Amino acid sequence: MIYVTKTFLPSIESYQLYLKRAWDKVWLTNRGELTLELEDKIKQKYSTTNLIITNNGTIPLQIALKLLGNQGDIITTPFSYVATTSAILWENCTPVFVDIHPEYLSIDETKIEAAITSKTTAILATHVFGNPCHVEEIERIAKKHNLAVIYDAAHCFGVTYNGTSIFNFGDVSTCSFHATKIFHTGEGGAMFCNDENLFQKLFYSHNFGHNGPLEFHGLGINAKISELQSAMGLAVFDELDFIFSERKKVVDFYLNHLDFTQISTIKIREKTQWNFSYFPVIFNSEEELLKVQNKLNESEIYPRRYFYPSLNTIDFVKGEAMPISESIASKILCLPLFVGLEKQDLEKITTIINTTVAC
């Protein structure tokens, strides 16, 4: 069976070498040397400043919203994974949706200002499938209205925009290191921040608020990653060039063999070095999508309707209508994309799609 993704596993020997260091020190959590080394490697490779690796990719959003949301209205996108909206609600803030750009699929920056009110405290935007938002315009709007900017960059490991890491934009940028992501620690995430004072608040917030073993800066939660997870991250990190290269081959195959007179895909924003994180296909209708999905499933190929449904339509949210997001969500399908996907499987996938759509 071929699923939409498959976890990349380094050799067990390389993982065990990193694990042995944790065993030798008998240090399994609380920011041991493996966690510090992984943070340092990420900073050096991608020229980022301050970052904190966390135990999952959602808690950085929650911490950022706790510090910057002030229980206000958060302008956000309806086209994202549910964690983006859930984090807003979890921190007693209110999501205010703004529709998306029909080609880039990220929040439509031209519609943000019309949604700002006296209750607005922040913008939380998602770089969809690793495709950057219009960060310059969002920054301009935020400064004009004195708003914080938080980016859900869960899909963005390795992405650069205009020559710099996408993690360097916004007041806080977050990432997921979940097992399904390009780079992973099994389960994990990270938050990035350029401002030193805010970074210190993020840091103590992720460690119960501690200021040393017996004192506290303030309120905090446990968002620390274990050395077991960081060992996996270090072993995967050593294979990054291979991972990106293999994923690019899959993307190039899709681009060269799918019939784009019948379907479309995401438009990558100019000045972006993309990371080949997902390959979404947009059909002309939901009916067409379902027909293709069924044909693929019959051959034990399981793409994913991602993101679906549009978050403004979820019962516990009940947002206003978002016509573009709702339309895209009903017609978009992410195709299998992972290291080790064979050419014969790619040929089968593209043939099924092309022939089914043409019927």
CA 245, 60, 11, 8 torsion: positive or negative?
negative
Structure tokens at 261: 């007179």
The closest alpha carbon to 117, from 136, 94, 86, 89, belongs to 94
CATH class of 240-358: alpha beta
Q: Rounded to two decimals, what is the model's pTM?
A: 0.97
Sequential pLDDT tens for the chain (359 residues): 999 999 999 999 999 999 999 999 999 999 999 999 999 999 999 999 899 999 999 999 999 999 999 999 999 999 999 999 999 999 999 999 999 999 999 999 999 999 999 999 999 999 999 999 999 999 999 999 999 999 999 999 999 999 999 999 999 999 999 999 999 999 999 999 999 999 999 999 999 999 888 888 889 999 999 999 999 999 999 999 999 999 999 999 999 999 999 999 999 999 999 999 999 999 999 999 999 999 999 999 999 999 999 999 999 998 899 999 999 999 999 999 999 999 999 999 999 999 999 98
pLDDT for 75 equals 98
61-64, Cβ contacts within 8 angstroms, sequence gap of 24 or more: 61/87, 61/124, 61/150, 61/152, 61/174, 62/87, 62/90, 62/91, 62/221, 63/191, 63/202, 63/205, 63/206, 63/221, 63/223, 64/150, 64/171, 64/172, 64/174, 64/191, 64/202
CATH, domain range 9-237: 3.40.640.10
- Which class for 166: exposed (0-12), middle (13-18), buried (19 or more C-beta within 10 A)? buried
What does the pLDDT read at residue 122?
A: 98
- Domain boundaries, given as residue ranges, for the chain: 9-237, 240-358
Dihedral sign for Cα 40, 45, 48, 49, please. positive
